[in-house]
Amino acid sequence: MSEPEEQQQPDIHTTAGKLADLKRRIDEATHAGSARAVEKQHAKGKLTARERIELLLDEGSFVELDEFARHRSTHFGLDKNRPYGDGVVTGYGTVDGRPVAVFSQDFTVFGGALGEVYGQKIVKVMDFALKTGCPVIGINDSGGARIQEGVASLGAYGEIFRRNTHASGVIPQISLVVGPCAGGAVYSPAITDFTVMVDQTSHMFITGPDVIKTVTGEDVGFEELGGARTHNATSGVAHHMAGDEKDAIEYIKQLLSYLPSNNLSEPPAFPEEADLEVTDEDRELDTIVPDSANQPYDMHAVIEHVLDDAEFFETQPLYAPNIVTGFGRVEGRPVGIVANQPMQFAGCLDIKASEKAARFVRTCDAFNVPVLTFVDVPGFLPGVDQEHDGIIRRGAKLIYAYAEATVPLITVITRKAFGGAYDVMGSKHLGADLNLAWPTAQIAVMGAQGAVNILHRRTLAEAEAAGEDLEAVRARLIQEYEDTLLNPYVAAERGYVDAVILPSDTRRHVVRGLRQLRTKRESLPPKKHGNIPL
Average pLDDT for 426-451: 92
Percentage of residues in the chain having pLDDT higher than 70 = 95
Q: Classify residue 315: in a domain, yes or no.
A: yes
User: What letter represents residue 337's amino acid?
Assistant: I
pLDDT value of position 74: 59
Cβ-proximal residues to 494 (8 Å cutoff; 6+ apart), any chain? none
Does residue 455 share a domain with residue 441?
A: no
pLDDT value of position 34: 67
Q: Which of 353, 358, 405, 421 is catalytic?
A: 421
136 in the Ramachandran plot: left (φ > 0), alpha (ψ -120 to 50) or beta? Answer: beta
Among 25-34, 290-299, 506-515, the range scoring the smallest mean pLDDT is 25-34
Mean pLDDT of the chain: 91
User: What letter represents residue 82's amino acid?
Assistant: R
pLDDT value of position 484: 80
More confident residue, 143 or 358: 358
Does residue 474 share a domain with residue 441?
A: no
pLDDT tens digits for range 159-188: 999 999 999 999 999 999 999 998 889 999
More confident residue, 350 or 478: 350
Q: Classify residue 19: in a domain, yes or no.
A: no
Does residue 242 share a domain with residue 133?
A: yes
Query: For the chain, what is the domain count?
Result: 3
Does residue 176 share a domain with residue 67?
A: yes
Q: Classify residue 17: in a domain, yes or no.
A: no
Among 128-132, 475-479, 499-503, the range scoring the smallest mean pLDDT is 475-479
Sheet holding 88-95, edge to edge: 63-65, 88-95, 98-105, 136-140, 173-177, 194-198, 240-242
Does residue 211 share a domain with residue 221?
A: yes
pLDDT tens digits for range 32-60: 666 787 888 898 889 999 999 999 999 99
Q: Classify residue 524: in a domain, yes or no.
A: no
pLDDT value of position 240: 98
CATH number at residue 70: 3.90.226.10
Q: Classify residue 395: in a domain, yes or no.
A: yes
Rounded CA separation 251/257 (Å): 10
Could you say which of 256, 271, 294 is where a domain stops? Answer: 256
**What Rg value do the Cα atoms of the chain yield, rounded?**
28
pLDDT value of position 79: 61
* 410: pLDDT strictly greater than 50: yes
Does residue 317 share a domain with residue 288?
A: yes
Q: Which of 150, 169, 420, 450 is catalytic?
A: 420
Average pLDDT for 256-268: 98
Rounded CA separation 438/290 (Å): 13
Burial class, 518, CB count within 10 angstroms (exposed 0-12 / middle 13-18 / buried 19+): exposed
pLDDT band at 29 (very low <50, low <70, confident <90, very high): low
Does residue 82 share a domain with residue 63?
A: yes
Does residue 375 share a domain with residue 248?
A: no
Does residue 289 share a domain with residue 427?
A: yes
Burial class, 237, CB count within 10 angstroms (exposed 0-12 / middle 13-18 / buried 19+): buried
pLDDT band at 4 (very low <50, low <70, confident <90, very high): very low
Percentage of residues in the chain having pLDDT higher than 90 = 72
For this structure, is 420 an active site residue?
yes
pLDDT value of position 183: 85
Domain hosting 295: range is 280-446+486-517
pLDDT tens digits for range 74-131: 566 566 656 767 889 999 999 999 999 999 998 888 777 888 899 999 999 999 999 9
Does residue 243 share a domain with residue 123?
A: yes
* 6: pLDDT strictly greater than 80: no
pTM of the entire structure?
Answer: 0.92
Q: Classify residue 523: in a domain, yes or no.
A: no
pLDDT band at 2 (very low <50, low <70, confident <90, very high): very low
pLDDT value of position 32: 63
Average pLDDT for 306-319: 97
Rounded CA separation 422/406 (Å): 20
pLDDT value of position 3: 41
For this structure, is 379 an active site residue?
no
Does residue 363 share a domain with residue 509?
A: yes
Q: Which of 111, 184, 236, 431 is catalytic?
A: 184
Q: Classify residue 355: in a domain, yes or no.
A: yes
Q: Classify residue 299: in a domain, yes or no.
A: yes
pLDDT value of position 496: 96
Could you say which of 223, 256, 289 is where a domain stops? Answer: 256
For this structure, is 97 an active site residue?
no
Does residue 306 share a domain with residue 161?
A: no
Average pLDDT for 386-404: 97
SS3 state of residue 507: helix
Please report how many Cα atoms fall inside a 13 Å half-sphere around the Cα of residue 239, on the Cβ side. 27
Inter-residue contact 479 to 485 (CB < 8 Å): no
Q: How many residues does the chain have?
A: 534
Tell me the DSSP string of 356-414.
HHHHHHHHHHHTT--EEEEEEE--BPP-HHHHHTTHHHHHHHHHHHHHH--S-EEEEEE
pLDDT band at 466 (very low <50, low <70, confident <90, very high): confident
345 in the Ramachandran plot: left (φ > 0), alpha (ψ -120 to 50) or beta? Answer: left
